[in-house]
Chain A
Amino acid sequence: MEQEKQTYQPRTLETQLPFSWKRLFFQWEWMLLLILVAVLLFGSYVSPYFLNYPSLRDGTMVFLDKAIIVFPMAMIMIMRDIDISVGSTVALSSVVMASLYTTAGLPMEVAIVACLVTGAVCGLINGLLIVKFKELSAVIVTLGTMILYRGIAYIILEDQAAGGFPEWFGFFGWGYVFGIPFLLIVFAALAIVFGILMHQTTFGRKVFAIGNNPTASRFSGVRVDRIKVIVFMLAGLLAAITAIFLTSRMGSTRPNIATMYELDIIAMAALGGVSTAGGKGRILGVVIAVFIIGYLQYGLGLINMPSQLFLIIVGALLILSVAIPKLGSMIKRK
């Protein structure tokens, strides 16, 4: 790796740049839209049941539950961290909810609240460990908690499955509001909330500031630690919401659900233009990327493609989406 040339120009924030058609045109989001169109065309080419409104609408139920976590994951990656424990957090909160309902006999409402609390506590532990022990880096902390959380889920439920939830609980996974899946509405609402949070509030600005330069932002009075803890807690909380939707859709839960979710989520964020080196990313791109990967999975499922092929495609997409900007700048430098 060659030495980056030191330039002392202050970086201008994107929102402060004057309007230009050129920049509007050369945006990652257009590229993503093109890919999404290609995916939809591919889907309609391989299966006649793919490209119509009911199919596209109900197809979202397959992938949007895990996609909820992509919003806080984008913020974490913008802050140069990573959270690979989210899949285990989903499993643990789901197992806590199910066992409180079935074994402890608590009402379902209480169990759902307990699920959310579990998720938030998992995220809080991640966040606290990361800011209190800075030498450890997020990779190691979340690697440890990833094993720990799933381990606790196994301790609680062993190799059993827990289910038999009340009928109304199925609404989360299968319900419609005004003919639109409830999950899709929740996803859209979260997208708007996180879009505003990241791009219109000082909190969001601070997240970007931390990603661009943690030391400088600390010296300018940004409470880096507090913001990190909050964002990791959000990741845990949204993982718990994912757990509710996922458990409701499957009707029962096991300690091994949601394995390797973190990979899909990180792939969605990276494909959506969130820089893995921190400091860059937009919710709009992330949302389009969610639908690209999601519809790809759905389309391949429709034609009975082995799910392992999907694994390969997600991996390749992740590499391409990270490598293309790098290759571009490598060519420009020459």
Chain B
Amino acid sequence: MEIKVAHTENPKKNMLTLFYQFRELGLLFFIILLCIGVQMRNPSFLTGENILDLATNTSILVILSLGMMIVLITRGIDLSIGAVIALSGMLTAQLVAANPSINPLLCLLFGTIIGSVCGIVIGLLIARVGLLPIIATLALMNIFRGLTFLVSDGEWVSSYQMSKGFVALAGGSFLGINHLIWVAVFFCLVFFYFLNYTRTGRQIYAVGSNPQSAAVSGIKQSRILLLVYTIMGGLSGLCGVLWVSKFASAQGDTASGYELTVIAACILGGVSIAGGSGKLGGVLLGAILLGILNNALPLLNVSPFWQNGIQGFIILLAVIVNSIVKRRVDRTHSLRRAG
């Protein structure tokens, strides 16, 4: 087991430490460089319309990344969110198809409840039974995906079966800005407050950075874990409704593999898979970076078949660079302490 020595004095900062402490700035710098590069190749990139478009398309990713961030902070992982999105989206779409006059906001509530139930199941398995998060969520991913196919019988729910009000959930706009962006901004603010200024939010970090001492200081770890997975499930359920409304179709394989994109956004944003660390700003930038890549690659006439490979390469590169920098910083710190 590694022993981490707490900082007793504030070490004089060198460039590297500075970079690491403000790694969000590094990410921001990279995003700006990327934008300039894309803009030079295709001037239609930085137009108001395209930026709004980009933000709309990134909103769902941002919302999910917030949930995934708190899961990762507690040393967990949730691979089932793509399947939860599909299940809640499918059930909600069927509800809308059966009762076209239903209030769209009720649909949002319905999807969120379904997602929360899925999340509670995951949370109970992990927090109470003690399964490893990766195993439990891998298994439940299969189960939820299978359930989605079973309830839909392999059929799609298409746009003509959906009411206008329902499609307007994700298609409509308020003050010229798409609803999805408002929802994402709302959740960012809520999470910022929750993580930094509430006791439960701080307990999430405590559980992730040192479970033993968190338990000793009276934090109920299983309750925190249950809460975290329930929030993740609820957000996935909500996003399932938004997803179906946005694309105006619900299929059995909706959002298949999307969990990887969400985890990638978190990792790019500097959330440590070993738990305990992760900032909202970083995650936001990570999600925006992936959103820009998705938006810019077609503008640059990059073949869609290259996108997967480029995404995988950038994720690996980012985590490796991050780990090298962190190692150098740690070494300088320990040298200072020794000297």
Contacts and interface: CB of A to CB of B under 8 A. Distances in A.
Contact of B129 (A150, A306, A323): A323
Nearest to B127: A1
Nearest to A156: B305
Interface string B162-194: 000000000000000000000000000000000
Interface in B45-73: none
B36 interface: no
Contacts of A319: 125, 131, 136, 139-140
Given A82-B134, A133-B319, A139-B134, 15 more contacts: A1-B211, A140-B267, A140-B273, A143-B315, A144-B312, A147-B311, A154-B305, A154-B308, A306-B149, A308-B149, A309-B146, A310-B146, A312-B150, A315-B143, A318-B138
B161 interface: no
A215 B1 CA distance: 7
Interface residues of A, number: 49
A76 to B, nearest CB: 13
Interface string B252-290: 100000001001100100001110000000000000000
A152 to B, nearest CB: 5
Interface of A: 1-3, 82, 129, 133, 135-137, 139-141, 143-152, 154-155, 158-159, 215, 263, 266-267, 270, 276-277, 306, 308-312, 314-316, 318-319, 322-323, 326-327, 330
A1 to B, nearest CB: 6
Contacts of B148: 308
B197 interface: no
B303 interface: yes
A3 B308 contact: no
Contacts of A149: 312
A151 B316 CA distance: 13
Contacts of A152: 309
A326 B308 contact: no
A150 B257 CA distance: 12
A309 B150 contact: yes
Contacts of A159: 305
A316 B143 contact: yes
B308 A147 contact: yes
Contacts of A139: 77, 134, 273
A306 B150 contact: yes
Residue of A129, A277, A312 with most chain B CB atoms under a 10 A cut-off: A312
Nearest to A266: B138
Interface in B112-141: 125, 127, 129-132, 134-136, 138-141
B135 A318 contact: yes
B154 A306 contact: yes
B88 interface: no
Given A155-B309, A309-B150, A315-B141, A322 B260 contact: no
A159 B305 CA distance: 8
A152 B260 CA distance: 17
B297 interface: no
A311 B146 contact: yes
B312 A148 contact: yes
